């Protein structure tokens, strides 16, 4: 996992901005779901974001991908990184709070470490990483509570759907490392989102008969936010921070997202989370800090 010990000030600023953007996306998605269906909400998200990114590709004069194999890789990436997780998490948000969804979403980093350890020889589970993973699992267990084991209520299924979405993100990360390495980030994101759109539009028309349009200005603004800002612009910002700070430091964004989502959910939607959700996030955050490694290395005794 690439990581720089020192993060440039500009990278810190953009990392904080990314956390704010993605944290607010949970609120905007929940607002949009009052006016459009789950599949329609995801269609809007990937379709408009793809359009914006292709405009940027054209402005920058980047070469268009023409390889059938590459487009096949985009299709798999779109399924793993957009279609499945966006749909699962949006469906989950119909039942559980946006703040709780953001807490469970933080498990993405833990799942990513596990998947990488299974797939890549250079990402083995060290004692530190295993400790972080165990803390992450403990955080999820505390967050969802014993109800998941006692019976599959709709709320339990919603939480499990969000966690399944985090596993999709983790698999997408491994796929991208193998199949999209060296490709322009904007082209890769545009290709992935295009394939996601081409998958979702016929699926939505088949299952629902039409793609819903928002009925109010609030719904339109919510969709515009999560499609144009929290997807298209956020992908660009993500790759900028990745280039400046490294993949390991991007783990820190998962610590920034839940406080923003929880705060907005309480302020705008009057959400109130169970105390165990905060305890679970504390464990997840501790696990992510351990996975980050810097605090761990400072606490380890140094040889004389």
User: Which positions ≥6 away from 92 have C-beta within 8 Å?
Assistant: 101, 158, 159, 161, 162, 165
Q: What percent of the chain has pLDDT over 90?
A: 76
- What pLDDT score does 78 carry? 97
Let me know if residue 222 belongs to a domain: yes
Q: For the chain, how many structural domains are there in total?
A: 1
pLDDT band with cut points at 50, 70 and 90 for residue 217: very high
Arithmetic mean of pLDDT, 70-77: 97
- What pLDDT score does 264 carry? 97
- What pLDDT score does 291 carry? 87
- What pLDDT score does 245 carry? 72
User: Which positions ≥6 away from 128 have C-beta within 8 Å?
Assistant: 290, 291, 293, 296
Distance CA 211, CA 36 (A): 8
pLDDT band with cut points at 50, 70 and 90 for residue 27: very high
Let me know if residue 113 belongs to a domain: yes
pLDDT band with cut points at 50, 70 and 90 for residue 240: confident
Arithmetic mean of pLDDT, 268-284: 95
Let me know if residue 114 belongs to a domain: yes
* Structure token pair of residue 239: 């790759």
Average pLDDT for the chain: 91
Helix 154-179 to helix 84-93 angle, to the nearest 10 degrees?
Answer: 160
Whole-model pTM: value is: 0.92
Least confident interval from 30-34, 80-84, 186-190, 288-292: 288-292
- What pLDDT score does 242 carry? 80
Arithmetic mean of pLDDT, 217-227: 98
* Tens digit of each residue's pLDDT (9 = 90 or more) over 253-273: 888 999 999 999 999 999 999
pLDDT at residue 40 greater than cutoff 90: yes
Let me know if residue 214 belongs to a domain: yes
Q: Which domain holds residue 137?
A: 9-299
- What pLDDT score does 287 carry? 93
pLDDT at residue 295 greater than cutoff 90: no
- What pLDDT score does 6 carry? 61
Least confident interval from 31-40, 237-246, 259-268: 237-246
C-alpha torsion sign, points 170, 175, 176, 178: positive
Question: What is 83-98 written as a DSSP string?
Answer: IHHHHHHHHHHTTS-H
- What pLDDT score does 252 carry? 78
pLDDT at residue 2 greater than cutoff 60: no
């Amino acid at each position: 996992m690439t990581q720089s010990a020192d993060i440039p000030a500009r990278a810190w600023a953009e990392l904080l901005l990314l956390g704010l953007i993605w944290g607010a996306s949970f609120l905007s998605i929940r607002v949009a779901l009052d006016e459009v269906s789950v599949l329609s909400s995801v269609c809007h998200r990937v379709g408009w974001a793809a359009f914006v990114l292709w405009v940027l590709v054209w402005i920058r004069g980047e070469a268009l991908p023409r390889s059938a194999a590459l487009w096949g890789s985009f299709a798999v990436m779109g399924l793993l990184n957009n279609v499945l997780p966006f749909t699962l998490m949006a469906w989950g948000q119909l039942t559980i709070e946006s703040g709780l969804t953001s807490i469970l979403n933080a498990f993405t980093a833990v799942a990513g470490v596990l998947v990488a350890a299974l797939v890549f020889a250079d990402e083995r589970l060290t004692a530190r990483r295993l400790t972080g993973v165990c803390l992450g699992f403990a955080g999820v267990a505390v967050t969802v509570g014993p109800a998941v084991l006692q019976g599959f209520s709709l709320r339990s299924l919603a939480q499990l759907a969000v966690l399944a979405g985090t596993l999709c993100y983790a698999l997408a990360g491994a796929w991208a490392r193998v199949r999209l390495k060296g490709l322009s980030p904007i082209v890769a994101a545009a290709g992935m989102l295009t394939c996601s759109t081409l998958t979702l539009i016929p699926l939505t028309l088949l299952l629902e008969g039409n793609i819903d349009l928002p009925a109010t200005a609030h719904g339109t603004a919510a969709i515009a936010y999560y499609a144009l800002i929290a997807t298209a612009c956020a992908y660009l910002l993500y790759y900028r921070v990745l280039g400046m700070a490294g993949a390991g430091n991007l783990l820190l964004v998962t610590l920034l997202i839940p406080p923003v989502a929880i705060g907005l959910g309480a302020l705008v939607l009057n959400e109130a989370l169970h105390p165990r959700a905060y305890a679970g996030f504390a464990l997840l955050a501790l696990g992510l800090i351990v996975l980050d490694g810097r605090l761990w290395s400072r606490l380890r005794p140094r040889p004389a």
